[in-house]
């Protein structure tokens, strides 16, 4: 690969990172913490590894009557079959736009180093760490 192609790839990556973060600089209203009891996760499942990454999928329901859910963080924990010990634990921030009283189906990639799936599924659990809205 020539030096020109490498420089082009680096520039594209840097621009993608800058533009992705630029959305958070726009004035969209006052952001505030939401109670995690206002968020309901339904049918969440860990999908098989795909291109060195797992995916989580499910429905996010915003039970708040006042705030649009804009961001939430999940703690995702993979467990060992034999003894239930923790194999891996990751935090995943998910950006959303779920108005009060509405729901959204999501599929999000989660970088997990474990690709073990001897019986088709990995024992796992999740919990909401925080939620932010406006």
Q: What is the CATH number of the domain that holds 88?
A: 2.70.50.40
Q: Residue 118's pLDDT is what?
A: 41
Range(s) of the domain holding residue 75: 30-133
Q: Tally the domains of the chain.
A: 1
Spatial CA neighbour of 124 closest among 68, 44, 13: 44
Query: How does pLDDT run across 23-62, given as a tens digit for each residue?
Result: 444 444 577 889 999 999 999 998 877 766 788 999 999 9
Q: Which residues, other chains included, contact 93 with Cβ-Cβ below 8 Å and sequence gap of 6+? A: 71, 72, 73
Provide the pLDDT confidence category of residue 18 given band limits of 50, 70 and 90: low
Cβ–Cβ under 8 Å, residues 88 and 78:
yes
Cβ–Cβ under 8 Å, residues 88 and 112:
yes
pTM as predicted: 0.70
In a domain, 19, yes or no: no
């Amino acid at each position: 690969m020539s030096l020109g192609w490498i420089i082009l790839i680096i520039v594209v990556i840097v621009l993608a990172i800058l533009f992705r973060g630029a959305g958070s600089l726009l004035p969209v209203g006052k952001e505030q913490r939401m109670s995690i009891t206002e968020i309901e996760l339904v049918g969440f499942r860990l999908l098989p590894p795909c291109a060195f990454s797992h995916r989580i999928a499910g429905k996010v329901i915003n039970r708040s009557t006042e705030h649009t859910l804009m961001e939430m963080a999940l703690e995702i924990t993979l467990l060992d079959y034999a003894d239930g010990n923790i194999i891996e634990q990751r935090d995943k921030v998910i950006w959303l736009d779920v108005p009060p009283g509405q729901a959204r189906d999501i599929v999000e990639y989660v970088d997990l180093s474990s690709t073990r799936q001897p019986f088709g599924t990995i024992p796992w659990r999740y919990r909401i760490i925080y939620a932010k809205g406006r």
